[in-house]
Structure 1
Amino acid sequence: MERREEILNYITHRPGITFRELARALGLGIGDLQYHLRVLEREGKVFSRKLGKRRYIFPAGFEGEYEKLVIAISTESRRRILLLLMEGSKSQSEIANAIGISQPTVSYHMGELKKLGTVRDRREGKKVVYSLSHDPELIARIIQNYRPGIWETLADRLIDLLTSIGDGND
């Protein structure tokens, strides 16, 4: 029972956490976690959604549009893509070049983001251009509230960048 309360508390503070992330974070075996999650789901305290090969776990009452957005920001590559699209529409090659991943990987993530209704695409000649389906401020708020570690990472990168610029000017 105590273990289940720990699991529920963790999910409540990190809605949309993946099954594997939860198992790692709490140091639980797969079978042990599956058992406790089945009990919590039967009691109506949590629910899960599957997208691709990942299972995302939410506390009860979290259903709705935020659910899809939290899933959309659950991986670093998708967060980086969404942050890039906050600047404006981009083609697949622009996204790949900007964040340093292959075009097939971008295509995969864009397919997942389209399924979630987070991005939309349009043809411009031979290329496909992607844009956000949601207000950028809403996406930023979701990232800040549900994946706060990203802001720390971005702040660290900014500090490193400013420090390197400062070092070069001396």
Structure 2
Amino acid sequence: MERRNEILHRIQSKPGITFRELARELGVGIGDLQYHLYRLEKEGRIFSKKLGKRRYIFPRGFEKEYQKLVIAISTETRRKILLLLMEGPMGQSEIAKRLNLSQPTVSYHMGELVKLGIVEARREGKNVIYTLTYDPAIIARVIRDYRPSLWEKLADSLIDLLTSVGDEE
């Protein structure tokens, strides 16, 4: 029972955590974790969402409108893409170039973001232009509230960037 409470507490502190991430962070065996998650889900204390090969676990009552965003920001590449799209609509080739990613990588992640309903895709000639469907302020709030360590990394990156700009002058 103590192990189950520990698992529940971690899910509450990191909503949208993946099964593998949860197992790694808690040092729990796969079978043991599966059993406890099954019991917690049966008791209605947690629920999970599957996207692709990953299973994302949320505490009961987690805000439905934020579930998709938490899933999206759990992957570093998607998080970078979302942050880039906060600047405005952008084509796939520009995203690939600015993030130093291959076109197929960008295409895959954009497909996942479109499936989640976080990004819209529209064709303009040969290009596909992507636009956020969420207010950037909401995305920033979700990162800050549900992934504070990511927020700290972003703040550190901004400080580094501002420091380097000051050094160049």
- Length-normalised TM-score, structure 1: 0.94
Q: 1:164, CA displacement in angstroms?
A: 3.2
**What's the counterpart of residue 112 of structure 1?**
112
Is 1:122 aligned to residue 122 of structure 2? yes
Tell me the number of residue pairs that the alignment of Structure 1 and Structure 2 aligns.
169
State, as a whole percentage, how many aligned pairs show the same letter.
72
Instruction: Name the SS of the counterpart of 2:62 in structure 1.
Output: coil
Instruction: Name the SS of the counterpart of 2:122 in structure 1.
Output: strand
Letter in 1 for 2:50: K
Report the Cα distance in structure 2 between the residues aligned to 1:72 and 1:15, rounded to whole angstroms: 12
Q: Which deviates more, 66-75 or 108-117?
A: 66-75
Q: 1:63 to 1:153 in 2, by over 3 A?
A: closer
Q: 1:168, CA displacement in angstroms?
A: 4.1
Is 1:51 aligned to residue 51 of structure 2? yes
- Runs of 4+ residues over 2 Å off in structure 1: 158-169
Letter in 2 for 1:44: G
Letter in 2 for 1:140: A
**What's the counterpart of residue 11 of structure 1?**
11
Letter in 2 for 1:20: R
1:48-127 aligned at under 5 Å gives the runs 48-62=48-62, 64-127=64-127
Deviations 1:134-157 (A, max 9, x none): 111111111111111122112222
Q: Name the Cα RMSD after superposition.
A: 1.3
Q: 1:63, CA displacement in angstroms?
A: 5.3
List gaps (5 residues or longer) in structure 2. Answer: none
**What's the counterpart of residue 144 of structure 1?**
144
**What's the counterpart of residue 27 of structure 2?**
27
Q: Which deviates more, 156-165 or 27-36?
A: 156-165
Report the Cα distance in structure 1 between the residues aligned to 2:164 and 2:36, rounded to whole angstroms: 48
Q: 1:158, CA displacement in angstroms?
A: 2.4
Report the Cα distance in structure 2 between the residues aligned to 1:27 and 1:148, rounded to whole angstroms: 22
Letter in 2 for 1:61: G
**What's the counterpart of residue 2 of structure 1?**
2
Report the Cα distance in structure 2 between the residues aligned to 1:85 and 1:165, rounded to whole angstroms: 23
Report the Cα distance in structure 1 between the residues aligned to 2:13 and 2:142, rounded to whole angstroms: 13
Instruction: Name the SS of the counterpart of 1:79 in structure 2.
Output: helix
